[in-house]
Amino acid sequence: MICAGIDGGSRAIKIVLLDTNTQQILASGACDQGVDHNALASKLFDDLLQRLHLPRQAVAHIVATGYTRNGIRLAHTTITEITCHAVGVRRLLPGAMTIIEVGGQDSKLLRLDTNGFVRDFAMNDRCAAGTGRFLEVLAARLNTSLSALGDLAARSAHPASISSTCVVFAESEIIGLLASGTPPEDIVAGVQLAIAQRVAAMAGRELADPLVFTGGVALVPGMREAMENVLGRAVRVAPDPQMTGALGAAVLAARQVRSAPQIARPTE
């Protein structure tokens, strides 16, 4: 039996197809987010099934999560991304106790108990200055790629101070720093530290190890090092960190089918 998890994030849609018997990931993929969340999710879903030469009817149950989960009509039910990221990370790294998830438009810090359940969490969704959007704006302003930011930050001797908490004002601050002759590498290092500092502000003093970094921003070179620098502890990046929410949704879909087999039905 196959179940699926769909993570409708603010910047991308991610899908995982999971074999419920072997618990193996059969296929996964992502596409850029757009206006019609359902159509984009449906196309990506069909593309993944085509790779496996399977019809939609082969998928017994689908759980959607993420920012646009309620707009994905393909799913049979929805579950909050807080729960899905916790389940997805624990599926990959069973010992994880603290999760930092930074996506395109928000950032979250999850504290888990020894059984992997979410004990409490903090979330910053009021401003994009602590998220991936900030890095996208920075890369565009410097006319470079997200993948090049890590090399730039590594060359910095004096990271710039980025004080703005709004991405619009932060961009103006970046323009001012460039105009004053601040080296791009110092600006990049300053932005990465600013994002990590916003996470640290959510975390407070209580952080249990192991600490796992996930979400699309975990893929950006230099961000793990910035987190470690600010938090003062080792930070592990989850395998395929952009997909943990979708993986968690797929695992939860499989659990729902096992606990209530009558809910399994073909996908239209």
pTM above 0.75, yes or no: yes
Regarding whether 101 and 78 lie in a shared domain, the answer is no
Do residues 226 and 254 share a domain? no
Same domain membership, residue 144 and residue 35: no
Partners of 138 in the β-ladder? none
Task: State whether 105 and 195 are in the same domain.
Answer: yes
Q: Are residues 223 and 139 in the same domain?
A: yes
Cα-to-chain-centroid distance, residue 55: 28
Strand intervals (E) in 20-97: 25-32, 59-65, 77-78
- The packing angle between helices 132-141 and 184-203, to 10°, is 170
**Claim to verify: residue 199 and residue 255 sit in the same structural domain:** no
User: What is the pLDDT at residue 10?
Assistant: 84
How confident is the prediction along the chain (268 residues), in pLDDT tens digits per residue?
Answer: 999 999 998 889 999 999 999 999 999 999 999 889 999 999 999 999 999 999 999 999 999 999 899 999 999 999 999 999 999 999 999 999 999 999 877 889 999 999 999 999 988 755 555 577 788 888 888 999 988 998 999 999 899 988 766 666 777 888 899 999 999 999 999 989 988 988 888 887 778 999 999 998 999 999 999 999 999 999 999 999 999 999 999 999 999 998 876 665 545 5
Residues 109, 225, single domain; the answer is yes
**Count of domains forming the chain:** 2
Q: What is the pLDDT of residue 204?
A: 77
Per the structure, the complete domain to which residue 215 belongs is given by 95-237
DSSP assignment string, 82-121: HHHHHHHHHHH-TT--EEEEE-SS-EEEEEE-TTS-EEEE
Percent of the chain at pLDDT above 70? 93
Specify whether 73 is located in the same domain as 126.
no
**CATH classification at residue 130:** 3.30.420.40
Q: Is position 268 within any domain?
A: no
129 in the same domain as 75: no
Are 102 and 33 in a shared domain? Answer: no
Residue 72 shares a structural domain with residue 100: no
25 and 133, same domain (yes or no): no
